[in-house]
Amino acid sequence: MATINLVDLKKSYGNVPAVKGVNLSVADGELIVLVGPSGCGKSTLLRMVAGLESVTSGHIEIAGRDVVKAEPAERDIAMVFQNYALYPHMTVRGNLEYGLKNRGTPRTEIDRRVNEAADILEIGQLLDRKPRQLSGGQRQRVAMGRAIVREPAAFLFDEPLSNLDAKLRVQMRVEIRKLQRRLKTTSLYVTHDQLEAMTLADRLVVMNGGLVEQIGTPTEVYDHPATLFVAGFIGSPPMNLIPTSALGTDGANGLPAGTDIVGVRPDALLIQRPEGPCIALEATADLLEPIGGESHLHVKLEGSGQAIILSVPGRPDIAESAHLTIYARPSELHPFSSQTGRRTDTVAKS
């Protein structure tokens, strides 16, 4: 149980900066998800907290103690790796015990913790097997067990689910969330999967190019993306980013000064006129993709040719190249400036 504080944390490989100054405070018991595209520095950040990468400048505090110079084992953290990194020649029990043995934990205490973790993760019957005799999901559980038995101040997860198949991933995601709620251990979780990020996080940290773009709860980040990058990254299908010039004078009215790009979620665009004030755009249908309960409708705006995705309920009967009018409520528009890359209305909470 502990807080984690990162103060102006930087990392460079030679002259190449990987993390360009990150400030983050993680509250006790909070699950923070670091999300971003490949190469955004999220894994590097996590590995710096773990002590597996040296710190170029800045501070890391775990439980109020500056750990920048401390060895990984001295930081009171446990890490779950993407490929699990189980010791292949040891049994599951051996894997769970190894860290505790190295710390000189008494035998009875080791047994108690191992059995407790095995109960929580339901791997009791696997304790005498070797990792190669386990399935992917079971290995994942063992890797988590190895973290749990340490009873650390913080868990660090480095894309722990990316080696699992889609179904198992959803299942393990739920389990990780439940487990973290139950143990109330401060956690940092790295993923590139924004769905995983949205569902797991108490708070999200969206990173890009070594910098934090936005920190907030999943709802905040989804409803009020602070930057153009976040707007495009979070949400599937991604938010439509339309230049104001394509909206016509009608649509561009009433937007804050400096706005030249407007973001609209695909599900905020309607093909029937809603009640109340709205803007209308003329468009031509391009392609309709039914995906079950809803459909993705690809259209092109007339005049500018701007491509837009709508997500519409059911399976509307729209022929390709049909002409239609799409509507959006002004409250659903996210105004951005392409110069600064930021929102132009009230500054989003961060």
Partner 1 sequence: MVENRPWLSFITHLVLIVGVVIVVFPVYLAFVASTHGSGDFLRGLVPLLPGPYLIENYGRMLTEGISTAGAPPLWIMLSNSLIIAIIIAVGKIVISLLSAYAIVFFKFPLRMVAFWIIFITLMLPVEVRIIPTFAVVANLGLLNSYVGLTLPLIASATATFLFRQFFLTIPDELMEAARVDGAGPMKFFRDILLPLSRTNIAALFVILFIYGWVQYLWPLLVTTESRYYTVVMGIKRLAATADTEPLWHLVMASVILAMLPPVLVVIFMQRLFVKGLVETEK
List residues near partner 1 by CB under 8 A: 50-52, 71-73, 77-79, 81-83, 85-89, 98-99, 102-103, 132, 146
**Separation CA 97–CA 8 (nearest Å):** 36
| Chain position carrying tokens 């339901």 | 122
Q: Which is nearer to partner 1, 8 or 128 (CB)?
A: 128
**Separation CA 170–CA 181 (nearest Å):** 17
CA nearest 85: which of 133, 125, 144?
144
Q: Which is nearer to partner 1, 98 or 327 (CB)?
A: 98
Type of residue at 230: V
Instruction: For residue 161, give the 3-state DSSP assignment.
Output: coil
Q: Which is nearer to partner 1, 155 or 229 (CB)?
A: 155
Give the nearest distance from C-beta 144 to partner 1 in angstroms: 13
Q: Which is nearer to partner 1, 103 or 315 (CB)?
A: 103
DSSP code for 27: -
**Separation CA 38–CA 34 (nearest Å):** 12
Type of residue at 280: A
Give the nearest distance from C-beta 33 to partner 1 in angstroms: 20
DSSP code for 342: B
Q: What are phi and psi of 305, to 5 degrees?
A: 75, 10
Type of residue at 110: I
Give the nearest distance from C-beta 80 to partner 1 in angstroms: 9
Give the nearest distance from C-beta 13 to partner 1 in angstroms: 13
Q: Which is nearer to partner 1, 109 or 345 (CB)?
A: 109
Q: What are phi and psi of 68, to 5 degrees?
A: -50, -40
Q: Which is nearer to partner 1, 81 or 327 (CB)?
A: 81
Give the nearest distance from C-beta 191 to partner 1 in angstroms: 17
Give the nearest distance from C-beta 176 to partner 1 in angstroms: 18
